[in-house]
Amino acid sequence: MTHMTPGGRPPVAPPALAANGFRPSATARVRSLDRSQLREAIAVRRQRLAEREADLVAACERAVARGAGRHIRVDDRATWDRAAWNRYVETAKRLEPEFMPEMLRLIGEIERLEHLAALPAMQRPAAA
């Protein structure tokens, strides 16, 4: 008797294990980890994260500039008074929902890619 799946098709048998004990598709995935591609993907995400951080800081600094007195220079935080810092922090809090989801996603992706890049290289079997 053939067992049927809920969709009415017979179940698909998993692929047989190779001589090394791994399924062929699993070993193919591991061997395809190109370290240069991983480093490039990490660099792209770090660049995007830096851009988003810079956008957030720029928006906060614009808020400081809008209410700044003559003694405050936006490019020199040593000149900022309590009101300037409060505007900066309040703007950061207000913009958090806009910026943080993407920034946290990028941080997570960078961490995962760095973990993959740190894995030891798999030895390929010698050609017979």
Give the residue extent of every domain in the chain: 34-118
Task: Give the residue among 66, 69, 89 at the shortest CA–CA distance from 80.
Answer: 69
- Res 32: pLDDT: 59
- DSSP 8-state secondary structure symbol assigned to residue 124: P
Mean pLDDT, rounded, for 19-41: 65
Residues of the chain above pLDDT 90, percent:
55
Q: What is the pTM of this model?
A: 0.66
**Average pLDDT of span 37-54:** 96
Burial of 99 (C-beta count, 10 Å sphere; 0-12/13-18/19+)? middle
- Residue 80 CB neighbour total at 10 angstroms: 19
The residues, ordered by sequence, that sit 6+ positions from 81 with a Cβ below 8 Å of its Cβ are: 69, 71, 72
pLDDT-based confidence at residue 12 (cuts at 50, 70, 90): low
Mean pLDDT of the chain: 81
24 band by pLDDT with thresholds 50, 70 and 90: low
